[in-house]
Amino acid sequence: MTTQATGAATGTATRTGIDAVAARARELLPAAGVITDRAQLRTYECDGLAHYRVTPALVVVPEDAAQLAAIVRTCAEHGVPFVARGSGTGLSGGALPHAEGVLVVTSRMRAITDVRRADQRAVVEPGVINLDVTRAATPHGYYYAPDPSSQQICSIGGNVAENSGGAHCLKYGFTTNHVLGADFVTPQGDTVALGGAAPDSPGYDLLGAVVGSEGTLGVVTSTTVRLVRLPEEVRTILVGFETTDQAGAATSAIISAGIVPAAIEMMDALAIEAAEAAVHCNYPDGAGAVLVIELDGAAVEVEQEYAEVARLCEENGSFEQRLATDPAERALIWKGRKSAFAAVGRISPDYIVQDGVIPRTALPEVLKAIADLSRESGVRVANVFHAGDGNLHPLVLFDDAVEGAGDAAEKVSGAILDLCIEHGGSITGEHGVGMDKAKYMPRMYTDDDLDTMQLVRCAFDPQNISNPGKVFPTPRLCGEVPGRKKAAHPLQQAGLAEVF
């Protein structure tokens, strides 16, 4: 698949620029940290979204913030685009390299530099694996709440860039709610402190803008995150229903009762089938849908909430409920859910992981519409999602060996996003816009909305060298007068960029 031209204002990026960055990197880094060999470069050609592939011109693997800043500064001096990448688990092509640019890999910046129990904070480098923050905090009685399904491999830097959350966002909030401060390298190569260890730093909340900006505003080299006290009691319940409608109704009933579980996850029959094939999680036989509900907090209240949740599920048609009685059972329940994406490979050669959001009350209507789409198109769709906050992850299955199947799947996948927008939702809840969904942004936002977002990018990155070509389909050139641009983009007119 081809990608759009991402040169934007940096179309002048030349081999000379790349050579200059490589030379600077060789001065700063051990030989292994500067990759120019074509075959080695190709191992970085995609992130978790493998159907976009671009070989970067240069890969550098800095070991500390000073090296990273120096490399970015050299990129700025030569107008060379750069893309930051952590573990490369993103699912929207957010870390897709730039063909004429530098891929800055943070995987060697993996120190947890501080765990301060007294302050409920940890300071971590961007390459730190999400789950390792919790592992470091647990002996102190704490954990790191945002937990993407890929938490065993994804990096904190990527989580910050994408504002990727996970199952526990419903109760505990998203990455942006847990990141308090960051050392940040601007696209000019300057290092600034954003936010801090204490709350409410004076001045504009630049950190709030950076979290979720998908690497288009600069690179975070250290973050101060909030640690959350481990709850006194955790109960994880697996509930089987005959239909997704019943499971959806049970979810609504729980929320309406004023209960905010730590997580409510739903999987439909096809997703269950896939998970069973992959990890033998032993979900209830014959279930058309399961809910994984986790309650946590003070023991007395968890006990009461559990009784109420059990009753509400039963009233809404559950035929089986299993309470995990030990950590192993709890882990097995979660294993089925967290492995669902990968597991789908067991039942389909190819699939698209979609990531849309709807208001939770629209769940039954949207699930029915997805089923209709699937039936009409003949494209199978497995549903795995965060039911509590309406974040859908339809897995659109296809076989690329069958002619036209990929296109049909793309069409269904796009139609699902349209459903989300139509119901007042969003085109992404945690995976990001990246390269993959830039073309959908104008369906959700007006030109004026997008232009206004571009004001932020122009403030941070007037050269347009920080992960260019992501998030926005036709970025306004910094310096253009906002809100009065109605003709084609100059790059488009020049044939340098494509409008989706």
Partner 1 sequence: MGTGTDTLTATAREAVASACAQVRDGGDGDEVDGVRPGLVARPADTDQVAEVLRAAAAHGLTVVPRGRGTKLSWGTAPRSADVLLDVSGLDRVLEHAAGDLIVATQAGARLADVQQVVGEGGQWLALDETVPGASIGGTLAANTSGPRRVATGTARDLLIGVTVVRADGVVAKAGGKVVKNVAGYDLGKLVIGSAGTLAVVVDATFRLHPVAPARRWVTVAVDDAARAGALSQDVVHAQVVPSAVEVDWTPAGDGSVSVLLEGREDGVVARADAVRRLLGDAATVGTDAPAAGATYPWDLTATGDLRATALKLTFVLSGLTDVLAAAGAAGASVRGSAGAGVAYAALPSDRPAEEVAAAVDRLRAACASHGGTAVVVDAPAAVKAAVDVWGPVPALDLMRRVKDQFDPDHRLSPGRYVGGI
451 touching partner 1, by CB under 8 A: yes
Residue count, binding to partner 1 (CB under 8 A): 94
Which is nearer to partner 1, 81 or 94 (by Cβ)?
94
364 touching partner 1, by CB under 8 A: no
258 touching partner 1, by CB under 8 A: yes
List C-alpha distances in Å: 63 to 9, 13, 69, 71, 364. Answer: 29, 25, 11, 11, 49
**In a 10 Å sphere around its CB, with 0-12 CB exposed, 13-18 middle and 19+ buried, how is residue 348 labelled?**
middle
Answer for the pair 452, 482: CB distance below 8 angstroms, yes or no.
yes
**Closest distance to partner 1 from the beta carbon of 160 (Å):** 11
Cα(133)–Cα(342) distance, rounded to whole angstroms?
Answer: 24
201 touching partner 1, by CB under 8 A: yes
**Closest distance to partner 1 from the beta carbon of 206 (Å):** 6
**Closest distance to partner 1 from the beta carbon of 75 (Å):** 18
**Closest distance to partner 1 from the beta carbon of 407 (Å):** 24
Q: Judged by CB under 8 A, which of 391, 413, 466, 467 binds partner 1?
A: 391
Which is nearer to partner 1, 7 or 432 (by Cβ)?
432
Which helix (H) or strand (E) covers residue 381, if one does?
A: strand 381-386
284 touching partner 1, by CB under 8 A: no
**Closest distance to partner 1 from the beta carbon of 224 (Å):** 9
Q: Judged by CB under 8 A, which of 12, 40, 43, 304 binds partner 1?
A: 304
445 touching partner 1, by CB under 8 A: yes
Q: Which of residues 35-74 bind partner 1 (CB under 8 A)?
A: none
Query: Using CB under 8 A, which of the segments 8-16, 299-307, 318-326, 487-495 binds partner 1?
Result: 299-307
**Closest distance to partner 1 from the beta carbon of 106 (Å):** 20
List C-alpha distances in Å: 402 to 308, 395, 405. Answer: 49, 18, 6
Residue 143 amino acid letter: Y
319 touching partner 1, by CB under 8 A: no
386 touching partner 1, by CB under 8 A: yes
Cα(428)–Cα(443) distance, rounded to whole angstroms?
Answer: 13
Which is nearer to partner 1, 360 or 380 (by Cβ)?
360
Total residues belonging to the chain: 500
Which is nearer to partner 1, 55 or 120 (by Cβ)?
120
Q: Which of residues 167-186 bind partner 1 (CB under 8 A)?
A: 169-170, 173-174, 176-177, 184, 186
Supply the Cα-derived Rg of the chain in whole angstroms: 23
Query: Using CB under 8 A, which of the segments 35-43, 62-70, 125-133, 450-458 binds partner 1?
Result: 450-458
> Which residue has tokens 């003709």?
487
Map residues 205-244 to x or -, x wherever contact with partner 1 holds by CB under 8 A: xxxxx-xxx---------------xxxx------------
269 touching partner 1, by CB under 8 A: no
**Closest distance to partner 1 from the beta carbon of 87 (Å):** 18
Helix, strand, or coil (residue 360): helix
Which is nearer to partner 1, 61 or 264 (by Cβ)?
264
Minimal CA–CA distance to 253: which of 294, 301, 171, 309? 309
| List of residues 6+ apart from 467 with CB closer than 8 A | 81, 82, 83, 84, 94, 98, 214, 215, 216
**In a 10 Å sphere around its CB, with 0-12 CB exposed, 13-18 middle and 19+ buried, how is residue 334 labelled?**
buried
| List of residues 6+ apart from 309 with CB closer than 8 A | 237, 254, 259, 261, 293, 295
Q: Judged by CB under 8 A, which of 482, 488, 493, 499 binds partner 1?
A: 482
Cα(184)–Cα(222) distance, rounded to whole angstroms?
Answer: 7
Residue 141 amino acid letter: G
Q: Phi-psi bin for 31: left (phi > 0), alpha (psi -120 to 50), beta?
A: alpha
**In a 10 Å sphere around its CB, with 0-12 CB exposed, 13-18 middle and 19+ buried, how is residue 217 labelled?**
buried
328 touching partner 1, by CB under 8 A: no
**Closest distance to partner 1 from the beta carbon of 222 (Å):** 14
Residue 393 amino acid letter: H
| List of residues 6+ apart from 83 with CB closer than 8 A | 56, 95, 96, 97, 98, 101, 102, 103, 104, 215, 467
Q: Which of residues 89-118 bind partner 1 (CB under 8 A)?
A: 116-118
> Which residue has tokens 């019943």?
246
485 touching partner 1, by CB under 8 A: no
Map residues 405-444 to x or -, x wherever contact with partner 1 holds by CB under 8 A: -------------------xxxxxxxxxx---x---x--x
Q: Judged by CB under 8 A, which of 255, 281, 324, 367 binds partner 1?
A: 255
394 touching partner 1, by CB under 8 A: no
Residue 186 amino acid letter: T
Which is nearer to partner 1, 99 or 193 (by Cβ)?
193
197 touching partner 1, by CB under 8 A: yes
Which is nearer to partner 1, 230 or 371 (by Cβ)?
230
Q: Which of residues 139-158 bind partner 1 (CB under 8 A)?
A: 141
